[in-house]
Every structure is written in structure tokens, then in C-alpha cells.
Amino acid sequence: MNEWVIRQPDDWHVHLRDGVMMAAVVPFTARQCGRAIVMPNLVPPVTTVAQAASYRERILQALPEASQFEPLMTLYLTEQTTVAELAAAAQSPFIYAVKLYPAGATTNSDRGVRDPLSIDPLLAELERSGLPLLVHGEVVDGAVDIFDREAQFIERVLKPIMERFPRLKLVMEHITTQNAVDFVLSQPDNVGATITAHHLLYNRNALLVGGVHPHYYCLPVLKRESHRQALLSAATSGSFKFFMGTDSAPHTQANKESACGCAGAFTAYAALELYAEAFDQVGQLARLEAFTSLNGPRFYGLAPNEARIKLTRAAQTVPEFIPVGDSERLIPLRAGETLAWQAQRVE
Ligand code: DOR
Ligand code: ZN
């Protein structure tokens, strides 16, 4: 296949940030995606319906003129979150999910939940309302190797939660291991998972061989090749449970290329092209549309987008950087390198 048309995708997990960074990155997501689940890990985090409403307005203001892009907002779960706030979120027309960050697991997760097994009233409310819980699935435990943190989280946290709340709508975010694939497949249809393009394309060698490559550092960290193969199999299996979530997570060049670099890969500028490359690697381009454009809406109970995107096998060069405000730069994944595909909106 060298050229074909698919339904417009949605990004079921993206970081749009705020201020000048938001202004720099929003057009990329809006260009390709009809909708996106917007992560709430701002500083301070988006913890209330009122804060989500005002963040949504700021995103709409940052959109290019005539853009039809719809931001789907989320709330950040804290130990102070109330059942009443979650009930209000479920009633809100623009809130689509609640995000659980284990405290300390990743960027701006300090206000997250220290013990996810101690918030049963909140989980009961989410199970009742049907508002999805999106989970960053890594334990925060200095005794656990960073490459094992996802697998441990499944055993220690996700399995007990799903036993207590079997009808909870849960998305295991940015899965990185065979263990996560197995867990998601072992659960009923109310449990799904997002997979990033970078976890489909790269293993941990990309991060560490020949030097430290900070733009390949993200959380959960890239894993070994056998896990990447498991993710590719899951994404191309035809299962409805797996869908596109880029976890595109912009940080400035200075914050990435540092003695203590931030976690996150910026992929939104060519998300669909990167996914196409991954599916093409395993001869499964025919399954791309379900993953990028159908499975996610199905999980969230929404209609797929009506707009169409044309994918063409034609080389494009990734920009060396994207300007952020007057003086900063954002380095996209694969900066200066070539991509094999081009995605264009069909008018
Ligand atoms: O790599 C990541 N970056 N993983 C996350 O979980 C958070 C994200 C961010 O916000 O930068
Ligand atoms: Zn994320």
C-alpha cells in the first residue's frame, strides 16, 4: 500500500501543556487529530471541573483559525479529590476521564496518589458513573528496578483494583510490556490500553547504545525488544482494546538535554506517520485505521470522526527544532531524520 485514506485519528493521551509551549504544540495535534484526551499534569494540576473548563478555553484559544479540533478534558486525581467532584466531572459535557498518577511516578505527579489501593470511595464512584480511569501504571518503590515497575504495578495495584471494581472503565496508559498486554487481554471489555508510537518503534537500545539519547527518554522507559514485539502484536491483533495514545510530551531542549533530563518524547508533529511506520514494519498497514481511528471512540462510546486523512508513502524530513516562544526550542523525535510517510487531511 503506497497511498490510502483512513478516518481521521484521535489521540487518546497527549500533553498539550500551557502558555508558550501549548501555543507551539497544539497546532500539530489539531492538524492530525479530531479529538484528544488532554493530560491534566500542569503545574498546578487540573483537579477540578472549574479548572478543566478554564484549561479547555485556553486550548481553544490556542487553536489555529477554523480548526474543528475538540479537546477532551481530564481531571487529575489527588488524595484530596472528593466523590462530589468526580460526580460533577461525570456530569460535565467536556470531561471524559480521570487520570491516576502514582505520586512520584513521572513528570508533575507529586500531587498524585501515594497508595492507589486507599481510594476505594473514588474508584466506586467512577465505576458507578462510567467515567474512565486512566492509569499511569508504574510502582514508585526505590527497591523495584525501573524496567520492572510496570509489571509490578499490574500485580500490586491493577489486579486488586479490578477484583474490587470489576466494571470500572480503565485504560492502562502507554503500555510497554508483554505483562501489560497479557493483563489487558485477560480483562473484560471495560479495560483497554493506549500504546505510543515510540514504544512500537523503539526498544531501550535507542536510549542507551552509542551514548545517552535524551529524546528517547520517556516514562515508562523503553523496554527490551521482546516487549516491543508484544506491543506490535497487540496493536495489530485486531483487538478493540488497544488504541492510539501518543503520550506526546514536549519539554524544552534545555530541559531534555541536561544532567537530569525530563521524561517525554515529542511525537505529535508526525504521530500518524510514526504509527504507519510501525505497522508497516510488520506488514499490518491494513490494521492501522482500527487502531488510530476506530477502537478509541468505541471504548469511549463516541462516534468515529467523519473527516479523512490520506497517508502517502513519501519521504519527509523532520525539522531540527520547533520554536517555543521567543528563545526556546523543542526537539521532535527523529529531528533532522527522514520519515517514510506523509499524512494529509483530505478536504
Ligand atoms: O515520558 C513521559 N512524559 N511520561 C509521563 O508519564 C509524563 C510525561 C510528561 O508529562 O512529560
Ligand atoms: Zn503521558
Q: What is the 8-class DSSP label of residue 113?
A: B
Residue 247 is a catalytic residue: yes
What are 206's three cell numbers? 535507542
Please list all protein residues whose beta carbon sits less than 5 angstroms from ligand 2, which is an ion.
247
Atom of ligand 1 nearest to the CA of 217: 1
CB 321 within 8 A of CB 329: yes
Query: In the prediction, which pLDDT does 157 show?
Result: 98
Quick check: bond before 220 cis, omega within 30? yes
With CA atoms as reference, report the closest residue to 276 among 341, 215, 210.
Answer: 341
Residues 283, 286, 289: CA angle, nearest 5 degrees: 125
Query: In the prediction, which pLDDT does 48 show?
Result: 98
DSSP H or E run through 246 = none
Q: Is the CB of 136 under 6 A from ligand 1?
A: yes
CB 160 within 8 A of CB 209: no
Query: In the prediction, which pLDDT does 106 show?
Result: 87
Query: In the prediction, which pLDDT does 265 show?
Result: 98
From ligand 2's centre to the CA of 2, what distance in Å?
31
pLDDT in tens, 115-151: 999 999 999 999 999 999 999 999 999 999 999 999 9
Query: In the prediction, which pLDDT does 347 show?
Result: 79
Count helices and strands (H / E) in the chain.
Answer: 14, 13
* Backbone phi and psi for residue 312, each to the nearest 5 degrees, phi listed first: -125, 135
Q: Name the residue type at position 228.
A: R
pLDDT in tens, 304-315: 999 999 999 999
Res. 107: pLDDT tops 90? no
Q: What distance in Å separates the CA atoms of residue 145 and residue 132, rounded to the nearest whole number? A: 29
What are 271's three cell numbers? 504521530
In the chain, where the domains are located: 3-346
pLDDT in tens, 219-233: 999 999 999 999 999
Q: Is the CB of 75 under 6 A from ligand 1?
A: no
From ligand 2's centre to the CA of 65, what distance in Å?
27
Q: What distance in Å separates the CA atoms of residue 53 and residue 85, rounded to the nearest whole number? A: 13
pLDDT in tens, 163-215: 999 999 999 999 999 999 999 999 999 999 999 999 999 999 999 999 999 99
- What is the per-residue DSSP string for 104-153? TSSTT-TTSBS-GGG-HHHHHHHHHH-PPEEE------TTS-GGGHHHHH
First-to-last C-alpha distance (Å) of the chain: 21
Q: Is the CB of 252 under 6 A from ligand 1?
A: no
From ligand 2's centre to the CA of 116, what distance in Å?
18
Candidate list 120, 148, 247, 280, residue with the active-site label: 247
- Residue 65 has a CB neighbour count (10 Å cut-off) of 4
Which ligand has the minimum distance to the alpha carbon of residue 108? 1
Residues in the chain: 347
pLDDT in tens, 34-82: 999 999 999 999 999 999 999 999 999 999 999 999 999 999 999 999 9
pLDDT in tens, 234-255: 999 999 999 999 999 999 999 9
- Counting beta carbons within 10 angstroms of the beta carbon of residue 66, is it exposed (0 to 12), middle (13 to 18) or buried (19 or more)? exposed
Query: In the prediction, which pLDDT does 133 show?
Result: 98
- Counting beta carbons within 10 angstroms of the beta carbon of residue 62, is it exposed (0 to 12), middle (13 to 18) or buried (19 or more)? buried
pLDDT in tens, 267-325: 999 999 999 999 999 999 999 999 999 999 999 999 999 999 999 999 999 999 999 99
Which ligand has the minimum distance to the alpha carbon of residue 112? 1
Domain 3-346 annotated CATH 3.20.20.140: yes
